[in-house]
A and B are shown apart, each in its own frame.
Chain A
């Protein structure tokens, strides 16, 4: 009985995605850990500000990984990936708008809404990808 129903292309894609993504994820976790542990005061020192923003490098790296994943997709997978990205973007925009309105009404803090926007955008993107790929 054939247990692995993936095609050879999918196996190649999965191997390449893991090879690309693991170093970027490790870099993100390490940089986030360093920034959190250092407890920097970015307003007092320019170097502290730069170190505080260093996880962005890993973020850009992850965006590049995602771009490479998209480049390896076949035509149907690319359509599905782009649909899922657009769902994630739409959800992030709605949450950002809601956060902005609530912040304007002095409910909650903008920092929380920024984090919420990021998290819900990513979750919506991944969930949409899982649903669309299962169809």
Chain B
């Protein structure tokens, strides 16, 4: 799954550790989500959406092949 986390974080000039603090997760977790090595759980995705005040589907985007299968 693709996501806009790095872009949204950059707009707010937050470091990965700053974002991790606000989400109460590790910095590695933020890095893994940003580099698309890890898809967050639904509760964490909602937490991210609330933090950035955007709907989940505006932050997390399906890959082209994923959107075809659903």
CB of A26 within 8 A of chain B? no
Bound-state Cα–Cα, A10 to B37, Å: 20
Which of A72-80, A90-98, A102-110, A111-119 lies at the binding interface? A72-80
Q: Known contacts being A7-B17, A9-B20, A135-B37, is A76 close to B27, with CB within 8 Å? A: no
CB of B54 within 8 A of chain A? no
Whole-angstrom distance from the CB of B19 to the nearest CB of chain A?
8
Q: Known contacts being A75-B40, A75-B41, A76-B32, is A5 close to B26, with CB within 8 Å? A: no
Interface Cβ pair total, 8 Å cutoff? 53
Consensus secondary structure, chain A interface: helix
Restricting to B24-38, which residues have a CB under 8 Å from any CB of A?
24-30, 32-33, 37-38
Interface string of B1-41 (1 = CB under 8 A from A): 00000000000000111001100111111101100011011
CB of B61 within 8 A of chain A? no
Beta-carbon contact of A74 and B26 below 8 Å: yes
What residues of chain A lie closer than 8 Å to B37, measured between beta carbons? 135
CB of B44 within 8 A of chain A? yes
Cβ-neighbour of B29 out of A5, A8, A74, A135 (below 8 A): A74
Bound-state Cα–Cα, A75 to B16, Å: 17
Whole-angstrom distance from the CB of B44 to the nearest CB of chain A?
6
Whole-angstrom distance from the CB of B12 to the nearest CB of chain A?
16
Restricting to A6-30, which residues have a CB under 8 Å from any CB of B?
6-10, 13
Q: Known contacts being A2-B17, A75-B44, is A10 close to B26, with CB within 8 Å? A: yes
Nearest 4 CB-CB pairs, A to B? A7-B20, A76-B29, A74-B25, A7-B27
